[in-house]
């Protein structure tokens, strides 16, 4: 379950990173998929902490825009993949550990 959940979540983030690379030129268009507020918040976080912010990619709301922003800001794929995988696997390890404690 850990591998399946992590893989699926990381693949989703990879798609978002790729979309960010593509959408960089489309920023400001009326149909752009991210609000200016969410994009500005993610860019501020990213500007301050750099690619290390990708360790927060597991968080709802805050983490969701980080993958496309990383793509838009041309974060190298290898760094993106490593940090996002650590973050997503870490979340599911905590969930699994919590579930194991409840079952006991």
Give the DSSP per-residue string, 30-92.
TT-SS-HHHHHHHHHHHHHHGGGGGGGTTSTTTSTTHHHHHHHTT--HHHHHHHHHHHHHHHH
Domain span at residue 24 reads 2-103
Number of domains in the chain: 1
pLDDT tens column, 7-52: 999 999 999 999 989 887 887 788 877 777 877 887 888 888 889 9
Query: Which CA distances in Å does 77 have to 19, 61, 67, 98?
Result: 13, 22, 11, 31
Global pTM reads 0.81
pLDDT tens column, 72-86: 889 999 999 999 999
């Amino acid at each position: 379950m850990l591998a399946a959940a992590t893989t699926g979540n990381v693949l989703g983030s990879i798609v978002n990173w790729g979309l960010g690379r593509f959408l960089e030129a489309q920023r400001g268009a009326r149909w752009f998929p991210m609000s200016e507020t969410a994009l500005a918040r993610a860019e501020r976080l990213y500007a301050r902490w750099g690619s290390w912010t990708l360790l927060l990619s597991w968080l709802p709301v805050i983490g969701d825009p980080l993958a496309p922003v990383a793509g838009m800001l041309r974060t190298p794929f290898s760094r993106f993949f490593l940090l996002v995988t650590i973050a997503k696997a870490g979340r599911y390890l905590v969930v699994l550990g919590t579930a194991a404690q409840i079952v006991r």
